[in-house]
Structures are given as C-alpha cells and as structure tokens.
Structure 1
Amino acid sequence: MKRIAAFFCAILLLTTPVRALEVDAPAALLMEKETGTVLFAKGEHQQLEPASVTKVMTLLLVMEAIDSGRLNWDTTVTASAHACSMGGSQIWLKENEQMSVADMVKAVCVVSANDCAVALAEAVSGSEEAFVERMNRRAAELGMADTVFRNATGLPAAGHVTSAADIAVMSRELILRHPDIRQYTTIWMDTLRGGQSSLVNTNKLIRFYSGATGLKTGSTDAAGYCLSATAERDGMELIAVILKDATSAQRFEDAKSLLNHGFANYALVNVTAGQALLPVAVSLGARATVQPVLESRSVLLEKAAAAAVEREVSMAPSVEAPVATGDRLGTLTVTSGGGVVAEVPILAGEDVPRITYGAMALRLLRSAFLAS
C-alpha cells in the first residue's frame, strides 16, 4: 500500500508545474518525445485552424510511404495542374515539372511549399482527396479526436481543424518513428533547381534556438500564427505547440518559453540495472541457467528527482523449464525521494527448453560416473 501511495505521489510531482508558466497563445502544449509526457497544457483541446502545421501529417504519411517502399527519396514526382494551383507559400512549380521526393520534402519542410505538399500527396495516394482520407484515418489511429483534415496543406477550408494536443501527438509520431526527417527540418538555408531557387526556413528557431530540430510553422488570417517546435538537449527532445498567436514573433517567444521550461526543469533518465545481471538457475532445463535482460525504458523526472535516482533489482532465485524468451524473471524498481518512479520487467533473453528423459538419464549417469 505504501508503494502504491509513493507511486501516485511521484506522478503528482511530475504533473505539477515546477513554476508558473504563461504563454500568450490561447492554445499551447509542451510534450516530451520519448515518453509522451505532457509537461504544460493550455486550451489544448480547442478545435482551431492549424494552417500549414497541417503538413506535419502530410510529412508523416510521406515518410510512412517511403518506409513501406511505395516511394523512395529518388522517386521522380511530376507536378500536376492541381498541385501548381495552390497559391500561398510555394516554390512556383510549373505543370509537368519534375522533382525528386527528397527535393519536394525539403521544400515542404523549409519553406512550407503548398505546391510540393499536394504533389507529394498525389504521389502517395493518386489524388489529394484520397490522401486527405488517408490523413483522417491516420489521425483516428493516433487518437486525434479533435482533428478533421480537409486538405494536405492547411490552406483555409471550412471544418479544417485540430488542437494543440493532437498536433503534439502527430509531431511526436513523426520525429519518434522517422528521425530522418531532421535532415530537412533542421535546414536553415538551401537551394533547389541547381541553385536557381533559394530557400530560407520559415522556422526562425532553427537559426536562433540552441538544439532546435524542427518542425513546422503555419499562418493564415483565420488561424493566426501557429507552430510545432521541436528541440533536443542532453538527450531529451521536446515538442512545443502554439496555436493562434497574434504575431509571428510571439509564437516563437511562446515556444521558447515552453522549451526553456522543459529543459530547465526535467531530465530523461535511461533506466539501467546499474550492475551486471547474473544468470538465473533453471531446474529441469536443457541448460542450467538462463540469461536475464532488461527492457529498454526511459523515465522523465524533475531534475532534482533525477539526481537522486536509486535502483533495486529483484530476481527469482530459480525458474522451472521450459523458459521462453521474454518470460519475466524479475523486476528493476527505480525510486527517487522514497517514491517509485518506474518498475521495469527483467526478462529471459533466450529459450531454455525442458530437458528430455533421455538427456536427463545421460546427465544422471554422467553425475554418477564423476562421483565415483
């Protein structure tokens, strides 16, 4: 009972703000990438227009298409009349102009090119309409209950809405599952078309915020100034979402406030046993022991708690065969300040089948021979 109470105390400490934090934006959220822990939220489920932050989902689906083999970075994409008609932020594709997936992804990440976003959507799904259906299905799979997409760009459209919470979820999915996107989201200045087209990132944090890794800006008259900002320091990556700020400068200031808060007050701790895990005896096994392994896991803690982490390994003295890979052999309990912050399973790292009667008889004969 005391352990359960300590656990909930630790959770309460983690979810209580370390100090007062304010942002001007009506909707904002700060999330740690690895664990998905929300560190700050304000109006996080308000359904608002996201403008070009929509393209986080567009990029996610493009990256998934690359992973599945439907596209590759060198695939040539031909611009359709529809893609070239987008307006807004663009690189002025001409109908039937051809460009690689890599260059189009670069244009989307750096200058928020609407024409390239739609061309990529058509390359993935055949049409923007079919791609938008896929966007909404993927949003539902990720639990993004506040979101309805109407296009692949974020250009104004009736009913095209999402929330700070949902943007954080899709941003996390993109950077957690597809870290290669960083090679484009971290570009400050670059060119396309053999140097004829210059690109400067719309995300000023890439140039002016230490550790910035992305991710996507957006703005329209109706949406205001929006941002999903990601940054990494000391092995911890944070996601700061800002919606409907009054000015471009204010969205970056709000994002910096969130990121600074996270980096100043929290640390990501990799859970290790702190000691070698010794083999566990196996009775009636084809082998005498089984090697335990620790499930990989990270724990997010306030910095003061992270400095006081203690570990305790509890292991079964022996197990009976058969043992299957992944069977639980024990637990690593991680505590800080007397409270349990994580209980990590220690698992069998290999199969140990039950010994056969013939092998058992041979083992007994060998033991008897050696004893004599």
Structure 2
Amino acid sequence: MKNFGVWITTILLTLTTFSSATFAAEDDGPELVESAKSAILIERDTGEVLYEKDANQTLPPASMTKIMTMILVMEALNDGSLKLDEKVRASEYAASMGGSQIFLEPGEEMTVDELLKGVAVASGNDASVALAERISGSEEEFVEKMNEKAIDLGLENTQFQNTTGLPADNHYSTARDMALMAKELLKYEGITEYTKIYDDYLRKGTDNEFWLVNTNKLVKFYKGVDGLKTGFTREAKYCLTATAKKNDMRVIAVVMGAETPKKRNAYITTMLDYAFNHYETESLYKRFQPVDQLKMIRANNPEIDVVTSESVSVLKKKGQKIENVEREVKYNDTIELPLKKGQEVGTLTITSNGEPLSKTTLIVNEDVSNAGLWSLLKRSMNEMVKHR
C-alpha cells in the first residue's frame, strides 16, 4: 500500500480564456430545436454542454439503445474476450427478432466483425441479440451488464430491458444520458470505422447477399458525421444520436421525439452547425498518451507510465484566449500491486486561472506485477552502492 501526493506543472500553451459559466449560459441562447421532445449538444472530450432542451426528460430511446450494446461489445474486444474474426452462431431466439434486422437464420454463423457492422449500419436487432448471447450467455444477462454499466457511467435516468430498443415497459433514457453513452463509446476509436459506413454488404457473393444501408443518412450528407445511432418506434418517434468531427473538435448531438426523420436530421444539422461555427478545441493529450511516471519500488517495472484514459482537450469560443493553464495530477490515496492494464490510478485536472477546464481519469497501460525477490535484492544492492 502506498500513499501518493499531488504535483502541479504549468502547460506552455496559448489558448482561450473563458469562465465555466460561458457554456452553461447557452441554455438561454438560440432555440436550435423547436418541436422535438428533447435534445442536447456537447463537446466530446470535455463533455461541456453547448445547448440543451429538456435533456433530463425520460423517454424511450428506441434503437439508440444499441449504443450501450456496442459499448459492451467494444469492451469485450478491447479486453480480448471477443475477437473480430470469431464466428458466432445465431440462436433461434436471436433470429426471431422483429423490426430492423439482417435476417439471420437459426444456426447461421457470422463473424463478430460482420455482426457489429449489422448493428452499427443496419440497426440489426437479430445481430444485437446474437452478440449479447455470445458475450453473456443470454440477452437477460447482457441487459444486467448494460444496467450495471449505466450505473458506472453515472447515468441517473436510464434503464434497459433489452439490447435492441424494441418497446418494453421501464425501458427509458434521456438525451443527456444518451450523449454520455456516446461519449463513452467514442473512446473506442475503431467504432467509427463501422458507424461511418453508408452502405455495404453481408454474405457478399452468396444467394443470401444482403445490402446494408445506414439508417443515419447524415453520414453521407453532412461532412464530418461518422456516427452514431438512429432510433424509431411509434412511441419514441424519430431519434438520433449523432457525432461529427471537424479539425480537432468532436461534438455529439442528440434529438429525441422528433415528428419526422426530416425534422430530426434538420435539428441535428442545426446543432452541429452551431457548434462548429461558434467553438473550437485545443487538443492537449491523445488517448493513452503518457502524462507521468508512477514510481513503485516493489513493482516488476519500478517506473510505470501513467496515461490518459481518453483524449483530453480544452474547449473555447472562437476568438478568445486562455491564460495561465496548469495541469494537476493527483494519485489515488491507495495503490496496491498488482495492477491490471486499464486500472485507474489517479486523475488529471486542467485549469485556467484556477478554474477547472477538464478532468480525466489516469490509468496504467500495462499489467504491473510484484517484483521477484532477486530483483528487489539487486535494486537494494544498487542503492547501497550509489550511496557509499
């Protein structure tokens, strides 16, 4: 067990000055979404809200539910418990899903890569359930994981009953929670390689060839849009969680309960235009970029790289300047060996004139075990030689 302190260092950057109230004030700004039930616009790295309308209203998310499904799929791919080239056999239950589907047959095998494409592009309910069953054994067990992840992410107004978003009692979320889910999913940069596809094929060259066309038309008609997920049921109406990137800035826009797909897309477009016309970001750290070294004499590697868990940026209004930017690394009070890759060990806080701009979890990017007895003995001997 070891106790760690705090260190602060100044970052030599010329950025923009603003107060934390700058962005909160946008709630009183222009009305970007008129007739939809709920909406929100955030900058991805900082999570700053640029616009919102009834963002905490609980509503059915329809197929936007699959954002959480994809988070758990990407987690499994990231930890190695799932492989893209692995074949998954569709159960009768998975193949029986109605609504949007890729028309899996009972017993049909597809790779995880193909099924993920079916979820991300065509919103396949059958593909979603097949992946859920592979990861957790059943859809019910997978839904438990979805709800546990919602708690981990601090989503206060979200409850899932299935992996697909098909109508169900007590299956709900909010625009704010959907934006936070999208923020989490976008940690996995590879996901946009799927969600940005406009059209593609499954079973290509076979009698059962299936043409996938993205339900999110903005990936073709709005430059910079590369995801994420549409949704529609009669109860939910037309919903969309979209993301777009221009230069160094990525934003997330959510609309729930729009009356038509045309209005839904128009509202998203208006919010994206507003973000890119009025704001910009300065990138400070890429995901997994080293920030500090953690020194643990009893570790197999006594100097451990501490890295960012996600990309870190500073958001600013165009034309403003940031001054006196500092970073503060604070380690957890207790850090015990062994450490697992991805384990949280502290936080990185970026401030300007003492005002917080962003806060990011710091992790170790490798497994760290206890040093062996022989290694500890050699280190002790080296220390003795140094101080003779």
TM-score range, shorter chain: 0.7 to 0.9
Q: Is 1:174 aligned to residue 189 of structure 2?
A: no
Mapped partners of 2:45, 2:325: distance in 1:
23
Give 1:258's aligned amino acid. Answer: M
Q: Secondary structure at the match of 2:186?
A: helix
Cα shift readout 1:231-276 (whole Å, capped 9, x = no counterpart): 000111100011011011111111111111111111112359xxxx
Deviations 1:202-243 (A, max 9, x none): 001000001001000010000100100000001111000110
Amino acid at match of 1:92: F
- Rounded to whole Å, the distance in 1 between the matches of 2:196 and 2:244 is 10
Instruction: Kindly report which structure 2 residues correspond to 1:184-263, keeping only aligned pairs within 5 A, or say none.
Output: 184-195=194-205, 196-263=209-276
Task: For 1:200 and 1:163, locate their aligned partners in 2 and report how far apart those are by CA, in whole Å.
Answer: 27
User: Paired residue for 2:103, among 82, 92, 97?
Assistant: 92
Q: Paired residue for 2:88?
A: 77
Which protein shows a greater Rg? 1
Q: How far, CA to CA, are the matches of 1:47 and 1:233 in structure 2? A: 31
Matched, 1:137 2:148: yes
Q: Contact 2:143–2:163 (CA<8 Å) still a contact in 1?
A: yes
Whether the aligned pair in 2 keeps the contact of 1:14 and 1:302 (CA below 8 Å) is no
Q: 1:10 is paired with a residue of what secondary structure?
A: coil
The aligned amino acid for 2:274 is H
> In structure 1, how many angstroms separate the alpha carbons of the residues matched to 2:103 and 2:319?
52
**More contact order relative to length (CA 8 Å, sep ≥ 6):** 2
Asked if 2 retains the 8 angstrom alpha-carbon contact of 1:30 and 1:38, the reply is: yes
TM (normalized to structure 2)?
A: 0.72
Offset at 1:357? 9.2
Work out the CA distance in 1 between the residues paired with 2:228 and 2:357.
Answer: 30
1:14 CA drift (Å)? 3.0
Report if aligned partners of 2:61, 2:236 keep a CA contact under 8 Å in 1: yes
Matched, 1:154 2:165: yes
Among 155, 163, 166, the alignment partner of 2:174 is 163
SS of residue in 1 equivalent to 2:204: helix
| Deviation for aligned residue 1:57 | 0.3
Q: Is the 8 A contact 1:14 1:301 kept in 2?
A: no
The CA deviation at 1:360 is 6.7
CA distance in structure 2 between the aligned counterparts of 1:216 and 1:312, rounded to whole angstroms: 36
- More helix, by proportion: 1
Counterpart CA distance in 2 for 1:297 and 1:138 is 22
Amino acid at match of 2:316: L
Aligned Cα root-mean-square deviation (Å) = 2.9
Q: 2:95 touches 2:104 (CA, 8 Å); kept in 1?
A: yes
Counterpart amino acid of residue 116 in structure 2:
V
The answer as to whether partners of 1:147 and 1:166 remain within 8 angstroms in 2 is: yes
Aligned pairs (5 A) from 1:47-62? 47-62=58-73
Amino-acid identity (%): 43
Q: Is the 8 A contact 2:58 2:173 kept in 1?
A: yes
Equivalent residue number for residue 365 of structure 1: none
Q: Relative to structure 1, is the Cα distance of residues 216 and 343 closer, same or farther in structure 2, using a 3 angstrom cutoff?
A: closer
Report the TM-score, using the length of structure 1 for normalisation: 0.75
1:13 CA displacement: 2.0
Aligned pairs, number: 304
Give yes or no for contact 1:311–1:332 (8 Å, CA) kept in 2.
no
- Partner in structure 2 of residue 301 of structure 1: 316
Change in CA separation of 1:62 and 1:294 when aligned onto 2, cut-off 3 Å: closer
2:36 to 7, 18, 25: 25
Q: Distance in 2 between the 1:342 and 1:139 partners? A: 25
The question of whether the paired residues in 2 share the 8 Å contact of 1:213 and 1:231 is answered with yes
Hey, what's the Cα distance between the residues in 2 that align with 1:332 and 1:127?
42
Aligned to 2:376: none
Aligned to 1:279: none
User: d(CA) in 1 for partners of 2:283 and 2:242?
Assistant: 24
Unaligned stretches of 5+ in structure 1?
Answer: 1-6, 273-292, 315-330, 345-354, 362-372
Is the Cα–Cα contact under 8 Å of residues 225 and 245 in structure 2 kept in the other structure? Answer: yes
